[in-house]
Amino acid sequence: MKSKSVFLAAGGLAVAAGIALGANSLVLADEMHRVQLADAAQMAAVKERQELMKSIGGNTKTIADFLKESKGTAGEAQAAAAKISELAKSIPAAFVTEASLSEMDAVGKNRGKPEIWLSWDNFVGRAKSLEDKSAALASAFQGGDSNAIQTAFGDMGKNGCGACHEDFRGPKVE
Ligand code: HEC
């Protein structure tokens, strides 16, 4: 009798364990689903901010083309500088969703370094710096002094774009 009840108890345990296992794998599936959803949100965020950067890059090219190759008009270059200043305001919001280089595989070709989120205030400060420097460039175009325009363009490139990329943009992902 005693051994039978031990057997039953063991069976009961096995059943209980089976149920517990089943419940665990449900929890696991749910967890994986959530991880996949997180990845999808990160993917969308990375894509969105890369598009924003491309747009900022395109406007910068419009200005460089005018200054270096006399393509387009001063008015177009001025408008591009003003546009960069406006786009710079969207940088912080576009980077709110975290995705670090250590998760590159999960989020495509992300180049945002973990430092963005570890040093968020500095990152936001860099975005503000670009906003101000591109606005100063637009004003220089308005003033029409070519030396002032060149200086403002160099300042924006080096201390606006370059400074942020140096601290917060990781290596190119092939
Ligand atoms: C506040 C920080 C910051 C500033 C300011 C900034 N960038 Fe970026 N930029 C980044 C980061 C971070 C990435 C990488 C984004 C990613 O891969 O998710 C990036 C990526 C880019 C890319 C690559 C986009 C792609 O994936 O194809 C270009 C082009 C670019 N930036 C141009 C510029 C130019 C031009 C300026 C200045 C007019 C500028 N950026 C200013 C942070 C900045």
Using one digit for the tens of pLDDT, what is the confidence trace for 142-167? 999 999 999 999 999 999 999 999 99
Mean pLDDT of all residues belonging to the chain: 84
For the Cβ of 130 lying below 6 angstroms from any atom of ligand 1, the answer is yes
Going 34 to 35 to 38 to 44, the CA torsion angle's sign is negative
Chain centroid to Cα 33, Å, comes to: 23
Instruction: Kindly indicate the confidence band of residue 173, based on its pLDDT and cuts at 50, 70 and 90.
Output: confident
Report CA(54)–ligand 1 centroid distance (Å). Answer: 7
Using one digit for the tens of pLDDT, what is the confidence trace for 4-33? 333 334 434 444 444 444 555 566 666 555
What atom in ligand 1 is closest to the CA of residue 116? 12
Q: Are 116 and 123 in contact (CB under 8 A)?
A: yes
% of the chain residues with pLDDT over 90:
63
| pLDDT, average across residues 54-66 | 98
| Burial annotation 105-143 (CB, 10 A radius, 16+ → b, else e) | ebbeebbbbebbbeeeeebeebbebbbebbbbbbebbee
For the Cβ of 57 lying below 6 angstroms from any atom of ligand 1, the answer is yes
Instruction: Go through the domains of the chain in sequence order and give each one's CATH number.
Output: 47-168 (1.20.120.10)
